[in-house]
Amino acid sequence: MPPNFLKSLNRSSYLKLLPYLRPQLPTITKALCCTIGFTVFWPILAILAGDIAEDIGSGNVQGIINLAGKGAVIFLIRGAVQYGQDTFMAQAALKIALRLRVNVYAHLHKLSLNYFEAAKTGDLSYRLTEDVDRVGEVINKIFHQFVPCILQLIVVMGYMFWINWQLTLAALVVGPLMAILIGTFGEKLLEFSRRSQSRTSNLSSMLTEVFSGIRLVQAFAAEDYELNRFELEAEQNRIAKFKAARIKALQFVVVGFLEAMSVIFLFFLGGWQISQQNLTAADFVAYIAAVALLIDPIQITTSNFNEFKEGEASVDRVFELMAVQPTVLEVPGAKALPAVMGKVEYQGISFAYDADKPVLNNIDLTVEPGEMVALVGASGAGKTTLVNLLPRFYNPVVGKILIDGIDTSGITLKSLRQQIGIVPQETVLFSGTIAQNIAFGLADFDLAAVEVAAKIANAHQFISEFSQGYHTYVGERGVNLSGGQRQRVAIARAVLLNPRILILDEATSALDAESEALVQEALERIMQDRTVFVIAHRLATIRRSDRIIVLENGAIAESGNHDELIAKQGRYAQLHAQQFQA
């Protein structure tokens, strides 16, 4: 075993896998029982080799036949327990990898929006797929190969001591040197593996980014530019992988040379022991057979140690995600929010993404149930931030938000968000049917209710024109639907949720006139009897709002309905004049 193996294990993240190993202990125990049975047969094979050599020397044909029959039986039993070892361990390793992957995925869903705004999608995907798979493979090999090989080394070397302890002690002289070399190479391999996996993760992130924006790439004829970027990143990835491969190649050459020299040295010592009549020729054959049986375990152990170090980098990367903590947390004893009327109060709200750059400053705002409030202002004024605080995508730095007099910081996130519907500017659709996208988040849903929601959202007609109707498959990001169709699906999704509070974030700004008319009509239907927050740059869409809030530099500059604000001739009137003059 390489030096500092246990110390290295103690320092690594492998110990964090113990909670995942415990549920699989019964299966791992079965695998280890098979491993022990498999290991027992190794010295028996060496003994048979010595006996066959003795019978060959004496010409005992019957003895050779008997021993050959025993050997066949031994190999058959050995194969059976090896099968048990392999299947039990593969079963345990795959279940461990599955549980780890699901837990990491679940943990990511708990993280706040600010984490995903900075994280690379390709990197997260790589960690959840390639890195977790590598962790599962390492666990499998630790119990499937590494542990059996260690047991084989112990058993076979015990047999070698029994045959001739002087010869075995001499053979062990080279052992510490090999262990030091393996450990040194392993640490280097860990370093290069971390670099390699980081480069591969960057490559994955780049591909995700480019394929998501392929329309822009083609529109700007930037294919050569992106190809050069990809080629440079791929070259860095190749260099990192090559350095790791070169270390492994050098290790096998050095260790292989030491193994060969050890065998030559053993033949020299064996011949000398035979000449001193301390060893018979048959025993020496058995001894050499035992040495031959050690070659594979030594090579596999070396290879496994390398993979252990490579896998350690993946374990670290996976548990880095688990170490990230959400900034928005439920307080202990948080209660579910009961059905609300929809009164919303912002009390002394201040917020900043960065401590030195405040976005909202001391906002006080009360919105009555059923009131439609529009938020206007220049880009960066804080409109979207203000509404994002309501479902607690972020927590205010100062102040509190109340719904029907209940402080939102003391209620569960799920119950809060289930009573707030959001129709964003950029509609997100997932791979699946149109019905599944409308009923997003519901495992079991009533198709009739989905149709009713679609009719309210002016989506039923275009959905019915598809040959598959509501079962029409929507491609990734809904690319086979127009912008207006996607937006109406998003509105139907909000209708089906039936929230008391509705947030419309630039819901019609990217649509053509015909689509906007259909979407606007659908929005007017679902806004009835609901508390509605509307963010709009196009002021024509909010003229009928009960109240218009003008935000400037994170503070409320003006408040009133359209006619009142026009009469004031303030900031809203200025924005209105600029738009309509344009």
pLDDT (tens digit per residue) in 136-182: 888 887 777 777 777 777 777 777 777 777 777 766 665 566 666 66
Place of tokens 């290879």: 303
Place of tokens 């491993």: 35
Q: Could you tell me the residue range of the domain that residue 185 belongs to? A: 5-323
pLDDT above 50 (res 5): no
Query: How far is Cα 149 from Cα 162, in angstroms, rounded to an integer?
Result: 20
Tokens of 395: 């927590």
Query: How far is Cα 131 from Cα 411, in angstroms, rounded to an integer?
Result: 36
Whether 316 and 183 share a structural domain:
yes
At 75, which amino acid appears?
A: F
Whether 153 and 281 share a structural domain:
yes
Which pLDDT score is estimated for 10? 47
Tokens of 329: 């947390």
Q: Is residue 260 part of a domain?
A: yes
Query: How far is Cα 494 from Cα 65, in angstroms, rounded to an integer?
Result: 81
Specify whether the CB–CB gap between 351 and 360 falls below 8 A.
yes
- Which is nearest to 533 in space by CA: 492, 499, 574? 499
* pLDDT, average across residues 412-434: 84
Which pLDDT score is estimated for 442? 78
Which of 478, 498, 518 is at the close of a domain? 498
For the chain, what is the domain count?
2
Tokens of 55: 């019978």
Q: Measured between alpha carbons, how far apart are the two ends of the chain, in Å?
A: 78
Query: pTM, whole model, 2 decimals?
Result: 0.69
Q: Is residue 28 part of a domain?
A: yes
Whether 133 and 268 share a structural domain:
yes
Whether 78 and 224 share a structural domain:
yes
Percent of the chain predicted with pLDDT > 70: 75
Which of 284, 301, 323 is at the close of a domain? 323
Q: Is residue 356 part of a domain?
A: no
* pLDDT, average across residues 403-428: 87
Query: How far is Cα 582 from Cα 564, in angstroms, rounded to an integer?
Result: 22
Which of 469, 498, 527 is at the close of a domain? 498
Which pLDDT score is estimated for 43? 62
Specify whether the CB–CB gap between 31 and 92 falls below 8 A.
yes
Q: Is residue 568 part of a domain?
A: no
Q: Is residue 165 part of a domain?
A: yes
Specify whether the CB–CB gap between 505 and 388 falls below 8 A.
no
Whether 149 and 35 share a structural domain:
yes
Whether 439 and 293 share a structural domain:
no
Q: Is residue 504 part of a domain?
A: no
Query: How far is Cα 273 from Cα 276, in angstroms, rounded to an integer?
Result: 5
| Side-chain half-sphere CA neighbours of 98 within 13 A | 8
pLDDT digits (tens, 9 = 90+) for 48-105: 665 666 656 566 666 667 767 776 777 787 778 888 888 888 888 888 888 888 888 8
The CATH number covering residue 116 comes to 1.20.1560.10
Which pLDDT score is estimated for 2? 42
Whether 195 and 311 share a structural domain:
yes
480: confidence class by pLDDT, cuts 50, 70, 90: confident
402: confidence class by pLDDT, cuts 50, 70, 90: very high
For residue 200, the surrounding DSSP H or E stretch is helix 175-212
Q: Is residue 220 part of a domain?
A: yes
- Please list, residue by residue across 467-492, b when 16 or more beta carbons sit within 10 angstroms of its beta carbon and e when fewer do: eeebeeebeeebeebebbbbbbbbbb
Secondary structure class of 160 (helix, strand, coil): helix
Which pLDDT score is estimated for 15? 81
Whether 311 and 448 share a structural domain:
no
The CATH number covering residue 451 comes to 3.40.50.300
* pLDDT, average across residues 367-388: 88
Q: Is residue 308 part of a domain?
A: yes
